[in-house]
Amino acid sequence: MKIGSIRRLNFEQNSGMNIVLLTAMFLTFVTACVAQNGQAQGHGNGGAYAIGLWGDLPYSAVQATVGVTNLIADMNSQELVFTVHDGDLKSGSSVCSDSVYTQGLSYLNSLRAPAAFTPGDNDWVDCDRTPGYSSLAQLDFERTLFFSTPFTLGQHQLHQEVQSTPLCPGVGGPTPCVENRRWTVNGVTYATLNIQGSCNNLCDTAPDPAEYAARNQADIAWTQQTFDEANQRHSAAVMFISQADPGFDATDATRAPIRDSKTLAETDGFADGFKDFLVALRQQVVAFKKPVVYVHGDSHYFRIDKPFLDEQGRRLENFTRVETFGDHQENGTNDVHWLKVLVDASSREVFAYQEQIVPGNRVAVPAP
């Protein structure tokens, strides 16, 4: 909730002001002040609440006009404390016209709950594929359009902490990485990270090693600072949301980079834009000990698993990878669905997952 101007109250003897109204106004003000400081209150018994995760949508005209509309209506029908879109507002081969971004902004602002967002490679990195467009210029445009304030999008808004240093490259020179955000709700800390597919801007068309190096440094710093804050707040868990599937081992060559799960070095011969981040993340996950979730899109395959190993090859039991639903037009499938996450800081694992198959978007087996 944005804190607007607070009207001065004139307490006159015969004003007839109801004490119940004053109490309600006071509680609203206190709640807003809490949100202003980067925290929000959840709903439900014992502080339990639900959030919504989605991304890699829309990729076609049908999805843009029907599928996403159905998905947003489905999310709006449920009590969610906030939602996050993990990037890719369009397909990688489509033109990066202004209408793509304004359409995405309209989607996010039509969500009833606060709507967070992190950019995807299709939104900016892959814009180099189209003559006349610059990936860095498109990222600057997204920063201006989606991240101009320290609040989420959506019909209700949540205050977020915004990364200010280290700086990221922009067309006009170094600029704050304002897309990296952090917030805490009822004892759980959340953060977005600008980590991209297409080798994190080290491959595909017009790779940019300088841009990658600066942004990667910022992402690693934001990751470490997020764990620091979670420890200071005594948070029960941490959830990161980004676009890229970095690959965690050698088992998923059809969908992600393959790497040595112990050293975290990529072994497929492609440029590795993720190793340094993964090494830093693993160190923090082991030290934190409590549940850590990494949410991403990119490879378009809904899954919840535990692919992260330590240097000795032992599974990190407190780490969970969550990949949101994503378009699979090449298979003739729709996959315009979302993931509901139940969050309870007092529970042992903190997060529980419920995939939400939107009835109006079912293709192979229509809704009963």
> How many CB atoms neighbour CB 195 within 10 A?
30
CATH number of 49-361: 3.60.21.10
Length of the chain: 368
Side-chain-side CA neighbours of residue 199 (13 Å): 17
Reduce the DSSP state of residue 170 to 3 states and report it. Answer: coil
What ranges do the domains of the chain cover? Answer: 49-361
Q: Return the pLDDT at 36.
A: 44
| E-only strand ranges, the chain | 39-40, 49-54, 82-85, 115-117, 161-162, 167-168, 175-176, 181-185, 188-192, 237-241, 292-296, 303-305, 319-323, 338-343, 351-356
Q: Return the pLDDT at 61.
A: 84
Give the span between the Cα atoms of 129 and 141, in whole angstroms: 17
Query: Tens-of-pLDDT digits for all 368 residues of the chain?
Result: 333 333 333 333 344 434 333 333 433 343 344 344 456 654 434 499 999 999 999 888 888 889 999 999 999 999 999 999 999 999 888 999 999 999 999 999 999 999 999 999 999 999 999 999 999 999 999 999 999 999 999 999 999 999 999 999 999 999 999 999 999 999 999 999 999 999 999 999 999 999 999 999 999 999 999 999 999 999 999 999 999 999 999 998 989 999 999 999 999 999 999 999 999 999 999 999 999 999 999 999 999 999 999 999 999 999 999 999 987 665 556 789 999 999 999 999 999 999 999 999 998 898 99
Q: Return the pLDDT at 144.
A: 98
Tokens of 268: 């497929």
Partnered with residue 341 across adjacent β-strands are: 51, 353
What's at 191, amino acid-wise? A
Q: Return the pLDDT at 333.
A: 62
For residue 295, the Cα-to-chain-centroid distance in whole angstroms is: 7
Q: Return the pLDDT at 363.
A: 86
DSSP 202: T
| Segment (H or E) for 94 | none
Tokens of 129: 């594929």
